[in-house]
Amino acid sequence: MKDYEHPFFKPLWRRVAILAVCLIWSVIEFATGTPFWGVIALGFAGYAVWQFFYLYKPAEEKKADDQPKE
């Protein structure tokens, strides 16, 4: 997840799926009585939100921002 601008993450459904897996994993850990791992999974989910929804810019949009304006 270090390269959040990788083309693999361009489709929104993939970023949402990764977040959903982290959240489901967290719920399962809390439900089975292992809150330590539940908190770890929530941390992954928080990191996914930060990287994939707050900081994420598609490559084309980033290139357009870098172009000098006349």
Each residue of 12-67: pLDDT tens digit?
Answer: 899 899 999 999 999 999 999 999 999 999 999 999 899 888 887 766 655 555 56
The confidence score (pLDDT) of residue 68 equals 63
pLDDT in tens, 47-61: 989 988 888 776 665
| pLDDT at residue 10 in the model | 85
What would the two tokens of residue 51 be? Answer: 């990287």
Closest CA to 26 of 13, 41, 16, 11: 41
Q: What torsion do the CA atoms of 29, 33, 38, 39 make, to the nearest 10 degrees?
A: 180
Residue spans of the domains in the chain: they are: 19-56
Give pTM, 2 decimals: 0.74
